Amino acid sequence: MARGKRKAARQEIIFTGFGGQGIILAGRILGKAAVIGDHRESTLVQAYGPEARGGACSAQVTIADQPIHYPYVRTPDVLVCMSQGGFDKFIGQMKEGGTLLIDQDLVQLRGFGGRFFSIPSTRIAEELGRKMMANIIMMGFFTAITGAVSVDAARDAVTGSVPKGTEEMNGTAFNKGYDYGLAVLKGREKKATGKAGA
C-alpha cells in the first residue's frame, strides 16, 4: 500500500459521506487522476437518493490495468468515510485487511479493530477558511496513504475539476492533506522500526 510499491492490478475504493460534502467530486477527481494522469482504466459509479443535500451518498471507484466489465464495487479495498452514516453502512463490506480512512471528528469506529488512518479533514478545511474543501484535503490524504494514484495525477485532477479561480486554494488544501498523510506514514514507520530494534 505504501508509496513506491507496485500498484495492484485492480483496486476498488468507496468514498462515502453525506450530500454536500463533495463526495462525488472526490470520486470524480480520483477516477480522472487514474484515467487522464496515470493512463489506467477507471470507472466511477455515483449512488444517490432523491435528496441533494444531507442524504447518504457514495462514490464507488474501480481502478485497474484491464478493462473494467462489472462496474460496481462490492468489497472495497479502501473505504473512505466522511460521515458516521457512511461508515455504518459500508464498514461491513470492506475487504478483509482493507484500508479504512476517516475524518476523525465525524466518524467513531464503534469497535472496528482493523487497519485505519485518520485525519481531521473538516477541521483543517475550516482552518483554511473553507469547510467545503474537506473533500480535497481527504483526497490528498488518500493519495499519500494509498498510492492508488500518483500525486501529480491527483493534483492535476484536483485543479482541473474545481471551479475557476479556486485552483490555488484547492491545490493548497490537497497539499495539506497529502503532507498530513506522509507524516502519518512516517510516524508509523518509525514506530515499526523502533519496535523491531527493541
Partner 1 sequence: MKPAVLTGEHFMTGDVACAEGALAAGCRFFGGYPITPATEVAEHIAGRLPEVGGTFIQMEDEIAAMASIIGASCAGVKSMTSTSGPGFSLMMENIGLAICTETPCVVVNVQRAGPSTGLPTQGAQGDMMQARWGSHGHYDIIALAPSSPQEIFYLTIEAFNLSETYRLPVLIMTDEMIGHISERVVIPEAKKIKTVSRPGPKGRKDRFKPFEPGANGVAPMAHAGEGYHIHVTGLTHDERGYPVMTVEAQKAMMAQLMGKIQRNLDDIIRTEAYRLEDAEVVIVSYGVSARTSLAAVDEAREQGIKAGLLRLITVWPFPEAQIRNLAKRVKGFVTVEINLGQIHLEVERCAAGKAPSFLVGHPGGTIITPERVVEALKESF
Chain residues in the site for partner 1 (CB under 8 A): 28, 31-32, 35-36, 41-46, 48-50, 68-72
**Cα end-to-end span (Å), the chain:** 25
Single-letter code of the amino acid located at 72 = Y
Task: Say what angle helices 23-32 and 134-146 make with each other, to 10 degrees.
Answer: 40
Read off the C-alpha cell for 10: 485492480
Q: In the complex with partner 1, which residue's Cβ is closer, 72 or 152?
A: 72
Q: What is the 3-state secondary structure (H, E, C) of 59-88?
A: EEEEEECCCCCCCCCCCCCEEEECCHHHHH
Q: In the complex with partner 1, which residue's Cβ is closer, 35 or 102?
A: 35
C-alpha distance from residue 126 to each of 24, 91, 170, 176 (Å)? 20, 27, 13, 12
The rounded distance, in Å, linking the Cα atoms of 104 and 83 is 10
Do residues 78 and 13 make contact, with C-beta atoms less than 8 angstroms apart?
Answer: yes
CB of 129 to partner 1, least distance (A): 29
CB of 50 to partner 1, least distance (A): 6
CB of 173 to partner 1, least distance (A): 21
Q: In the complex with partner 1, which residue's Cβ is closer, 42 or 170?
A: 42
CB of 109 to partner 1, least distance (A): 29
CB of 69 to partner 1, least distance (A): 4
Q: In the complex with partner 1, which residue's Cβ is closer, 72 or 179?
A: 72
How many CB atoms are closer than 10 A to CB 54?
Answer: 11
Q: In the complex with partner 1, which residue's Cβ is closer, 4 or 49?
A: 49
